[in-house]
Amino acid sequence: MTTTSDTSDAYGASTPDDVEEGTPVVNSYGGDWDSVVDEVTALSDERIVVNMGPQHPSTHGVLRLVLELDGETVTEARAGIGYLHTGIEKNMEFRTWVQGVTFCTRMDYLTPILNETAYCLAVEKLLGITDQVPERASTIRVMMMELNRMGSHLVALATGGMEMGATTVMTIGFRERERILSIFEMVTGLRMNNNYIRPGGVAQDIPPGCLDKVREALRDMKKGIGELEALLLENPILKGRTVDVGYLDLTGCMALGITGPMLRATGLPHDLRKSNPYCGYETYDFDVATWDTCDAYGRLRVRVNEMHESMKIVEQCVQRLDGPAGPVMVADKKIAWPAQLAVGSDGQGNSLDHIREIMGESMESLIHHFKLVTEGFRVPPGQAYAAVESAKGELGCHAVSDGSTRPYRVHFREPSFNNLQAVAALSEGGQIGDVIVAVASIDPVMGGVDR
C-alpha cells in the first residue's frame, strides 16, 4: 500500500480529474486479499488471554479458567484450582475416626452420603469388620446413596440448564431435589453435611413414616424427571448447544483417568456397583446407563438414565426395609458409638430412655461410653483403600492407621479432581460459548477438588 501526494501513483497512473492538486491519494495493490489475510493471521502472535472465574456466574463454584482466544475460538484452556481449599484431609488427622465423618461429608457437598460411605468402608476394612456390618445398615446406606446420586444429577441438570438460559430446567431440577433433601432431613436431621454414615453402620435407624415419605417422593419424582426429559432430550436448541460439544472419546478418558458419566458416555459400562460391588449392590437389580456419543449431550443422557436406575434401586431398598427393625450398627460395643441415638419427645436427642440406660446400668458402662466419645476407638495399624461409585465417578478413600485413635493419613481420590483434567481437551478448538457447556458436562464440585 502506497501513499502519494502528487497526481500520479507509484505505477504512473493519473489521478481522477476531480481530485485537487496536493490531495493525498491512497492506492491498494498487490496480491489477492484473501491470501494477504491468511498470511497476516499465520504470522501474527497476538492472542487474547482472559480469565473466566473464579467468580464467573457461569462456572461451577470457584473454578478459574484461563482461556487463550483467537477471536471466538479457544486456542488454549487451563483450569486454576485451589480457591476453595479447606484442608479437610489434614484436619482429619487431628480428630478421632468417628469425627472424620464430619469433615469428609463436606468435600463434594452435593454427595455427602457417598463421601461418608467411602470413608467408613475404608475404616471398616482397617478394623476388619466389613462382614459384621448389619444387613439393615447396608440397605439404608444403599437407599441414601442412590437418593443422593439423584440429587446430585438433578443439580447438574438444573445448573447446566441455567447456564444455557433454560430457567425452567433449573426450577424443576431444584424442585425435585427438595424432595430428596426433605427425606435426608427426616432421617439424619440435616439436609446436607449429614454425618449419618458411621464406621460399623449408621447413626440411627430410619424414623417412623420414612418409607411412606420415600414412596411418595419417588412417585412425584418420576413425574418431575419426565418433565425434564420432555424439556431437554429432543429439544433442538439444547441439542444444538450440546451435540458434538466437549468431545472426549474412550481413549482420552482412559488416558486421563476419567470415570463416571463422562466415561460411560463413551459407551463403556464401567460402574463400581457392578465391577467391584460394595454394601450388597450385587443383590440389586439395575442396569448401567451408557451412551455412545462422547459429547456433552451423551453425558446428559447418561445422568437422566441413571436417575431412573437409582429409583429402581431405592424401590428395592424400601421393600427390604419394610419389615421388622433390626440392628444398624456392629455388635462390638467398643466401636458401636453412637449407635443408639434416639430422639426424645422434644424432637432432640438423645432420648431420656437412652440416657437412663447408660447412667443406670453401671459405672463401668458410663466410663466406657465417656472414653468412647472423648477418645474414640483404636484402629489396628495398617492401610486400606475403599471406593464407591459416586455421582461424578470413582470416589476412593485411602486410610492409614498407626494404631492410635486418630487417622495417620486419609487421602481421597475425588472424581471431580481427575475429571477436571479434561478441560483443555474438551474446550480447545471450540467456541468460547461452548466452554460453559463443556465444563457443565464434567459437573465438577470444587469442594471435592480443593479438599
pLDDT per residue as tens digits for the range 156-188: 999 888 888 889 999 999 999 999 999 999 999
How far apart, in whole angstroms, are the C-alpha atoms of residue 176 and residue 218? 10
**396 and 252, same structural domain?**
yes
Q: Answer yes or no: is 200 within a domain.
A: yes
HEC letters along 336-375: CCCCCCCECCCCCECCHHHHHHHHHHCHHHHHHHHHHHHC
Q: Does position 128 have pLDDT exceeding 80, yes or no? A: yes
Q: Answer yes or no: is 53 within a domain.
A: no
And the C-alpha cell for 174?
A: 431444584
Identify which of 322, 400, 301 has the alpha carbon closest to the alpha carbon of residue 89: 400
Q: Does position 15 have pLDDT exceeding 80, yes or no? A: no
**88 and 37, same structural domain?**
no
Cβ neighbors of 262 (< 8 A, separation 6 or more) are 248, 253, 299, 393, 419, 422, 441, 442
**261 and 220, same structural domain?**
yes
Q: Answer yes or no: is 51 within a domain.
A: no
Q: What is the predicted pLDDT for the residue at 345?
A: 62
**16 and 143, same structural domain?**
no
Highest mean predicted confidence (pLDDT) among 230-239, 329-338, 364-373: 230-239
**263 and 128, same structural domain?**
yes
Residues 312-324: b if buried by 16+ CB within 10 A, e if exposed: ebbbbbbebbeee
And the C-alpha cell for 273?
A: 456397583
Residue 13, domain extent: 1-44
**317 and 212, same structural domain?**
yes
Q: Which domain CATH number covers 105? A: 1.10.645.10
Identify which of 255, 329, 323, 302 has the alpha carbon closest to the alpha carbon of residue 443: 302
Burial bucket for residue 258 (CB in 10 Å: 0-12, 13-18, 19+): buried
**182 and 102, same structural domain?**
yes
Cβ neighbors of 11 (< 8 A, separation 6 or more) are 29
**40 and 165, same structural domain?**
no
Tell me what the pLDDT averaged over the chain comes to: 86
Distances (CA, A) of 6 to 2, 17, 108, 281, 441: 12, 13, 74, 89, 63
Better-scored residue on pLDDT, 219 or 331 = 219
pLDDT per residue as tens digits for the range 410-431: 999 999 999 999 999 999 888 9
* Residues above pLDDT 70, as percent of the chain: 82
Q: Answer yes or no: is 359 within a domain.
A: no
Total count of domains within the chain: 2
How far apart, in whole angstroms, are the C-alpha atoms of residue 248 and residue 258? 10
And the C-alpha cell for 77?
A: 484452556
**268 and 414, same structural domain?**
yes
Task: Measure the CA angle with vertex 140, ends 134 and 142; round to 5°.
Answer: 105
**277 and 207, same structural domain?**
yes
**389 and 268, same structural domain?**
yes
Identify which of 395, 404, 408, 400 has the alpha carbon closest to the alpha carbon of residue 447: 395
The pLDDT confidence band at residue 254, using thresholds 50, 70 and 90, is: very high
Q: What angle do helix axes 135-163 and 167-188 make, rounded to 10 degrees?
A: 160
**235 and 135, same structural domain?**
yes
